[in-house]
Amino acid sequence: MSLASEYRSEYLAYCNARLRCNSASDASYKHYGGRGIQFRFRDFREFLQCLGRRPKGYVLDRSDNDGHYEANNVRWVTPSVSVSNKRKHLPRKVYTKPTAERRMEIEERRRWTTRLRDEAKKRAESARQNRGPRRSKFALKWAASIKELGLL
């Protein structure tokens, strides 16, 4: 019987923690490895020697959430203790320079916006030139009455 099969739940906790820190394809990587948290156990034997057997119903936890997975910072705790051990402040969203692809999208959108705005201005100007000055009904009646009187 192998060490991993004899200590199955401990081995799963070991593998999951290692993946969170080392594999960018892991869903939780951004919260662990992406924040610079490292998995510092050389192998499963060292991990098991440090923590011992997992008590039933307990989960792996780090005492200092900003610290690494290492000998003095990991422990088995109940899920309720683990949930209460969270980061105090979420990191602020940092403005990053757009990628080349995103810059191209922005520039393309800018060109289309400018083109549509220019076309709308041309249509409006053309419409103004074709219909002449706009006159109200009152102005048209007044102009007609002046023509009748022969004053125009």
- 34-58 residue pLDDT tens: 999 999 999 999 999 999 999 999 9
93 inside domain: no
Tell me the backbone φ, ψ of residue 99, rounded to 5 degrees. -70, 165
In the block, residue with structure tokens 């990191």: 91
- Residue 118 pLDDT level (bands cut at 50, 70, 90): confident
pTM of the model: 0.56
Confidence of residue 89 (pLDDT cuts 50, 70, 90): low
Q: Is the separation of the CB atoms in 21 and 38 below 8 Å?
A: yes
Residues 108 and 78 in one domain: no
Residue 92 lies in a domain: no
Amino acid type, 93 = K
Q: Are residues 66 and 12 in the same domain?
A: yes
Q: How far apart are CA 39 and CA 75, in angstroms?
A: 14
Pair (63, 8) in one structural domain: yes
Structure-token match 């949930």, residue found? 83
Structural domain containing residue 126: 100-149
Q: In terms of domains, do 70 and 114 share one?
A: no
Distance from C-alpha of 43 to C-alpha of 7, rounded to nearest angstrom: 14
